[in-house]
Amino acid sequence: MIKKQIIAIGDSHSRSFANSDYFISVFMGTGKENNFTSDDFAIKTEIKLLKIMSHFKKNDHFMLVLGEPDCRWNTYNDWNTRISEGKQNKIIDSTSRFETSLLKIKQLYDNLIVYNVAPHTRNDQNLINQTWNSKISSFCQKYGIFFCNIYNEVLSNLDKYLIKGDHCHLNHSVQELVIKKLQINKKITNVPVDDNLFNFDQRFLCYTLKSKK
């Protein structure tokens, strides 16, 4: 049973875990810049992840909230104007890059959790989402990383969990599903966040890493 706050780090989907007693939401930045669609983006994303994680303790619990931008990149023409056949192969390339990063991170941090890519209102993207989740879930099982999969629970009641007017971002009510899945102790220990290193976003109630001046 987890007895400390979980640090949820990732793209905009990490903000589903903001404003919570059980999670600390750290927003890395836009999904167009934090993804695994190419070697360059994967390296930059990994570096930023490790930089954020380095400001916490080795035995803290980290939940990585990544992957939806990769799935969207393989679905939306406005994200990738060069979409052609072979979408499944492209998402496999993304998952492979993510897996490489996960192996590096696992060697440095004891308590690693990977969050699933949540359902979308578009069925074509959901096919890609499911490919990502299946591949990453198998990888996590092989290497002893907890894969937090609440995909079916969310899909069965998507209107409840989606932010109103949004196609893929979930509201804060999804936290209860994750708390149950991870068996988080109701009497949780707070994890300190250094105000010298992180800004608090009053709009989204999450943290962002301060830029060096």
Q: Does pLDDT of 68 surpass 90?
A: yes
Which class is domain 2-209? alpha beta
Other beta carbons less than 10 A from residue 148's beta carbon = 19
Tokens for 84?
């052609």
Q: Does pLDDT of 171 surpass 90?
A: yes
Q: Does pLDDT of 97 surpass 80?
A: yes
Q: Does pLDDT of 186 surpass 60?
A: yes
Q: What is the pLDDT of residues 120-132, one digit of tens each?
A: 998 888 999 999 9
Residue labelled with tokens 């192996």 = 103
Alpha-carbon dihedral sign for residues 39, 44, 50, 53:
negative
Q: Where are the domains of the chain?
A: 2-209
With contact defined as beta carbons under 8 Å apart, do 5 and 22 qualify? yes
The beta strand positions in the chain, using DSSP E, are 2-4, 6-10, 23-27, 61-65, 111-115, 146-148, 184-189, 198-201, 206-209
Q: What is the pLDDT of residues 10-66, one digit of tens each?
A: 999 999 999 999 999 999 999 999 999 999 999 999 999 999 999 999 999 999 999
Bridge partners (DSSP) listed for residue 206: 201
Q: What is the pTM of this model?
A: 0.94
